Amino acid sequence: MKKHKLPGTVVALGLVSFLNDLASEMVTPFIPILIATVLGAGPVVLGLVEGAADAAASFLKLWAGRYSDLRHGRRKRLMVFGYGLSNLARPLLALVSSWGALLLLRSLDRAGKGLRNAPRDALLADSAHPEIHGFAYGYHRAMDNAGALGGTLLAVAALSWLDWSVSEVILWSALPGVLVLLVLIFGVREPPRPAVEKKPQAPLAWNALPHNMRRYLWVLVLFTFARASESFILLRGNELGMSVVQLLLLWAALNLAKSGAALLGGRMADAFGIRRLSLVSWSGYAVSFVALGLVEQGNALWAGALLYGLLTGLGEGSERALISLYADECERGTAFGWYHLAVGLSAIPAGVLFGAIWHYWNAGAAFLFAGGLALLCTLLLHFWSFRNAT
């Protein structure tokens, strides 16, 4: 088999995601801390904010994916606008004084994500050879997590060595945000897509999607109820008495684990099969959240978070590569739009449910619930979604 290399556009898209997460993670780890301290709210509000922020962009993701299919040469334009909106809204979080303002800015950030994600994921598939789709998506997720690691470490350095306030760190996230747009505009090129006899009619109707994809998306919706926001891990650390710097270092270690595992997982997906690796990753999620549910002290939280990062990071690329496997070449944008829509619409009830279990019972019960549900989803993925799949 010929060994294919990652094309320049895929490499550039990885750098874009690295810089964007560098900016994002100078902000995101502070959100549960702001909610718990400055705003005086708890896990239910965190679940609402994080869920609403993702769900607010859900329909934008479907529209953007479809538009990028029907309009040749429009994937990059949507991405520029989406990354621009996010990197304008995020630094303004330094000025919030109410959870309503936080919700608005977080939703604008995610609206930008809604405009860019489906076209970006489709562009990755357009640019990479089919034999290395697992590696391409794994590389992209590795760069994304590496950016999260770098952004968190920058925040730690600014707080510890430069004696900056949280607001100053958030405001300075605008700088890597500018670099995101420069790399995207000058470093990413859209490859020509194959000519078709008529304008492609991407499957906007749910029933027009391939049968295997619909089954996969149904299970993924249920899995979203298990895959609670990782911000809850930080909230648990705050509950256990960890300092802000300790929480940021924990966040950095988590993203380092995910980054290394995602790059390895991409290679493994191409070698051993995308479906097999997805099952391994989802099983790992179940195991790691059960472990987090048993945590009662800071040291144990470190171990549980690292286990979570390693086991779930393996499948981050394969989860998206499955969509490129099921979708026709001229319909990738819309297929990824449905993927992001399915996950996004589940985000609000999933976040609120997790937060409510935490509030009315305890953190351990919430994590154990998520772990058990993830195990059920793994079984459904294997015995129902992947059954007779080609």
The domains found in the chain, sorted by start residue, are: 8-187+210-385 (1.20.1250.20)
pLDDT, mean of residues 173-184:
94
d(CA 206, CA 312): 28
Task: Give me the pLDDT at residue 203, please.
Answer: 55
Q: Which of 123-137, 241-255, 319-333, 363-377 has the lowest mean pLDDT?
A: 319-333
Q: Which pTM value belongs to this model?
A: 0.73
Tell me what pLDDT residue 172 has. 92
| SS3 at position 74 | coil
Cβ–Cβ under 8 Å, residues 289 and 378: no
Residue 390 confidence (pLDDT) above 70: no
Q: 318 with 277: CB under 8 angstroms?
A: yes
Q: Band of the pLDDT at 23, cuts 50, 70, 90?
A: very high
Cα first-last separation, the chain = 21
What pLDDT was estimated at residue 179?
96
**For residues 11-37, average pLDDT:** 84
Structure tokens at 248: 């940021």
The per-residue pLDDT for 142 is 85
What are the CA-CA distances from residue 225 to residues 33, 149, 219, 367 (Å)? Answer: 23, 26, 10, 11
Q: From CA 234, how far away is CA 175, in angstroms rounded?
A: 25
In Å, what is the CA distance from 84 to each residue of 76, 88, 90, 116?
Answer: 12, 6, 10, 10
In order of 118, 155, 331, the CA distances from 201 in angstroms are 16, 46, 8
The total number of residues shown for the chain amounts to 390
CA distance 20 to 6: 20
CA–CA distance, 286 with 281 (Å, rounded to integer): 9
249's tokens: 């270092």
Residue 2 has pLDDT above 50, yes or no: no
Which residues, 6 or more positions from 384, have their beta carbon under 8 angstroms from its beta carbon? Answer: 215, 219
pLDDT confidence of residue 197: 47
Confidence check: pLDDT of 386 > 60: yes
Highest mean pLDDT among 72-86, 175-189, 289-303: 175-189
Q: Which pLDDT does position 1 carry in this prediction?
A: 39
pLDDT in tens, 193-212: 655 544 545 556 677 777 88
Look at residue 17 in the predicted model and tell me its pLDDT: 92
pLDDT band at 266 (very low <50, low <70, confident <90, very high): confident
Contact (CB, 8 A) for 324 and 332: yes
What is the predicted pLDDT for the residue at 351? 76
pLDDT above 70 covers a percentage of the chain that reads 87
Question: What mean pLDDT comes out for the span 115-123?
Answer: 88
Helices (H), 90-210: 99-127, 133-160, 166-172, 174-187
Reported as a pLDDT band with limits 50, 70 and 90, residue 180 is very high
Give the confidence band of 54 by pLDDT, cuts at 50, 70, 90: low
- Identify the CA nearest to 261 among candidates 277, 237, 249: 277
Which residue did the predictor score with more confidence, 305 or 74? 305
What distance in Å separates the CA atoms of residue 39 and residue 43, rounded to the nearest whole number? 12
Can you tell me which residue has the tokens 């144990």? 300
Q: How does the average pLDDT of the chain come out, rounded?
A: 81
Give the model's pLDDT for residue 206.
73
Count CB-CB contacts under 10 A for residue 192: 8
- pLDDT band of residue 35 (cuts 50, 70, 90) is low
Concatenating the DSSP letter of every residue in 184-227 gives HHHH--PPPPPP-SS------SGGGS-HHHHHHHHHHHHHHTTS
Residue 279 pLDDT level (bands cut at 50, 70, 90): confident
Q: What is the maximum span of the chain, computed from C-alpha positions, in angstroms?
A: 63
